[in-house]
Amino acid sequence: MIRVIAAVAAAMSAIELVKYFSDRKIFISFAIEDQNLRNLFVGQAGNTITPFEFADRSVKKPWDSAWKTKCRTRIKSCDGVVVLFSENTLLASGVHWEVKCAIEEQIPILVIYSGRRVGRKRLPSVFEGLELHKWSWPAVEEFVAGL
């Protein structure tokens, strides 16, 4: 993947490269109990030269079908989904639905975790086939560059 990124970067001018990446929209999925993790993630992005924008679509209202319709539209408008995975994600039905939606819409997904990794046996079924990656900025940059 790194070679592909280097080849793309070499073929483009700096202006073309910034425009290419600035067009990338990322949907952030997280359990509401992990609002602080989400804030850290977005803050980290703000402290780094990030060639993409975040589309924060956190649940602000109780679940209903209208929210799901709007959320699906927002997920479809994004180039990728980053799931901030924690122990709270195990029971977060909203995150499960967002991941299922992204899979149905064929939107690429990056699942990153901070802290202790959850064992495969405990993962909700919607995460089957998805890899969990240790939270690192290079992993996020590589994911976005591959979109």
> Is 56 within 8 Å of 28 (Cβ atoms)?
yes
| Mean pLDDT calculated for residue range 17-21 | 53
The average confidence (pLDDT) of the chain is 79
- Beta-carbon-side half-sphere exposure of residue 1 (alpha carbons within 13 Å): 10
Euclidean distance between CA atoms 125 and 105, whole angstroms: 18
For the chain, percent helix, then strand, then coil, each to nearest 5? 55, 15, 30
| Mean pLDDT calculated for residue range 44-57 | 65
Supply the pTM of this predicted model.
0.79
pLDDT at 101: 96
Euclidean distance between CA atoms 5 and 145, whole angstroms: 7
In the chain, where the domains are located = 23-145
pLDDT at 108: 97
Convert the pLDDT of each residue in 69-125 to its tens digit: 888 998 999 999 999 999 899 999 999 999 999 999 999 999 998 777 666 667 889
| Mean pLDDT calculated for residue range 22-51 | 80
Q: What is 23-145's CATH number, 3.10.310.30, 3.30.1330.90, 3.40.50.450, 3.30.565.10?
A: 3.40.50.450
Euclidean distance between CA atoms 83 and 109, whole angstroms: 7
Euclidean distance between CA atoms 56 and 40, whole angstroms: 13
